[in-house]
Structure 1
């Protein structure tokens, strides 16, 4: 299979300064490094799959045929001519406090405290771009709601609407699938009997056909390397999914590792980052707490620092939330 150069892949004209044997040893021994990239293709097979850690020296020139997957780009174009240009840090940004809209046009803030939900907050799909043309939609339950209406619209025209009592539904097989590269509005309205209470909505866009094929090929290539499954999830697959805006895919793969019993703190920390990015603050807090616990037990200083940074941001966020509903809802 011909491997297509992914967003973060770079064919090198530079060399890693360490001998292959040393690099291979680092791949096994240096479990707590702060990785900025991975060697995916190399003439020296001992290099394939090795992590490039932050602070490691890169110099010299070698034969063509090497490829590096950069894990963090910080908004810079990920096509680079050397792994030294891979970004060396990632900052978790604090999301804005999310407002919800009532059917009457008022605003409501999410109450302080874990587990509270005043709107049918859409939980999945996460993010704007989706891969599945028949997405599974889930949302938070609303106190006093007796039913929920789900609707998908395109250019203000309703394509599908359904009323259910639960908090999840699959886009039906009986309808045509959502079209690649098209934009839709997904809405969930909570009802008490026949009266609308509150609503949530988001814009979704189906990944285009070319990007879907690119993604499939690169997934297959990464899996063919038979890397550590936890690292594959939070490093390699995470970066190719995010390069196409597929936050939903990354969260699903990471949650699969959680279900499988992963004890890697970075699996939970990256999940915390993702939930934080979409303002699912309670879920982010729980993942950061788990990452902190595991990092302390394992002596993983790099993961511990990141988990603590995430917790600090969320604690600051919680401290600024109102204890009760705002005046619009009184």
Structure 2
């Protein structure tokens, strides 16, 4: 119907390089929640302004009429992110080679340093023939340790949580016969309160759009990855996967995030699922990204395990 703004909320409805999404109503052609292509023009009614979510930066901008370009929605510097899947040599956290057994306890969660969780769970790879593990959590003003026989530890409720902006170190040791071995420490930092508030506000504004769950998760990914919050985005993407989404982009992005976290087996599993689904979508751009992800995982798996 003429004069009725177009609703274009799903990524599979467009074949372009996406710039972002309209958050508020007021555009002449597009409804709130609609996707906007890079270089596309927005026309705000009555000379007003409109809220626009920029995918490359995870920020919500206040725009007037005009072309949405890289001058407005700046492309992020991928080389400065936690790890960029387009550059295999940069992913220092991603393990090289596929080991049959582990000689030291490698921490796999939290994935990277920044987090929104003041009491993060700690998970590590098991060590062959280990009988128990000691987890040590060291901060500037407090520390604690626990000895357990599992490879996962919930943050003890009786211990002091991380404070805003605080950085701490996690160490895991394995007891094996009469020896104790330790892996590389992991550093974790709770984001400052002002950054946490900005992230929560952006998530809330996306949530109010009532987007399909897979679209919301991909938008949340843009928000979280603007701060390298791998823990949070992997959790959100897995929530969508757990209910059986058929969206290949969700699986491919989840594969990217697992690769960035250094969990190659999970990365490959997600890429293979994305490859299976993308064949029915005729989306050549998505297929190329999936193939690049699989190639990168295979490249790392065939490297010597020593760095």
What TM-score does the superposition give when structure 1 sets the normalisation length?
0.77
Match for residue 185 of structure 1? 169
Aligned counterparts of 1:28 and 1:20: Cα–Cα separation in 2: 21
- 3-state secondary structure, aligned to 2:159: coil
1:315 to 291, 298, 301: 298
2:250 to 253, 259, 267: 267
Match for residue 280 of structure 2? 297
1:282 counterpart = 2:268: no
Aligned counterparts of 1:134 and 1:64: Cα–Cα separation in 2: 43
Q: How far apart are residue 66 of structure 1 and its match?
A: 0.9
Q: How far apart are residue 228 of structure 1 and its match?
A: 1.2
Query: CA 1:173–1:99 in structure 2 vs 1: closer, same or farther (change >3 Å)?
Result: closer
Q: Is the 8 A contact 2:98 2:301 kept in 1?
A: yes
1:73-107 CA distances to partner (integer Å, 9 max, x unpaired)?
Answer: 59xx996965212367976231557589xxxxxxx
Unaligned runs of 5+ in 1: 1-18, 101-108
1:136 to 121, 125, 132: 121
Aligned counterparts of 2:222 and 2:273: Cα–Cα separation in 1: 22
Match for residue 10 of structure 1? none
1:66 counterpart = 2:50: yes
1:123 to 108, 116, 121: 108
Match for residue 40 of structure 2? 57
Match for residue 162 of structure 1? 146
The alignment's C-alpha RMSD in Å is: 3.1
2:98 to 102, 105, 112: 112
1:31 to 13, 36, 61: 13
Query: CA 1:141–1:98 in structure 2 vs 1: closer, same or farther (change >3 Å)?
Result: farther
Match for residue 204 of structure 2? 220
What TM-score does the superposition give when structure 2 sets the normalisation length?
0.83
1:223-277 CA distances to partner (integer Å, 9 max, x unpaired)?
Answer: 111001101101x111111223322111110011111111111111111111112
Match for residue 68 of structure 2? 83
Q: Is the 8 A contact 1:145 1:197 kept in 2?
A: no
Q: Is the 8 A contact 2:51 2:62 kept in 1?
A: no
1:158-194 CA distances to partner (integer Å, 9 max, x unpaired)?
Answer: 6110111001111111122111101101111122144
Aligned counterparts of 1:118 and 1:29: Cα–Cα separation in 2: 44
Number of residue pairs the alignment of both structures matches: 291
Match for residue 14 of structure 1? none
Unaligned runs of 5+ in 2: 79-83
- 3-state secondary structure, aligned to 1:47: coil
Aligned counterparts of 1:245 and 1:99: Cα–Cα separation in 2: 13
Q: Is the 8 A contact 1:120 1:198 kept in 2?
A: yes
Please, which moves more after superposition, 285-294 or 188-197?
188-197
Aligned counterparts of 1:199 and 1:20: Cα–Cα separation in 2: 63
- 3-state secondary structure, aligned to 1:297: coil
- 3-state secondary structure, aligned to 2:13: coil
Aligned counterparts of 1:149 and 1:194: Cα–Cα separation in 2: 14
Q: Is the 8 A contact 1:95 1:279 kept in 2?
A: no
Match for residue 238 of structure 2? 255
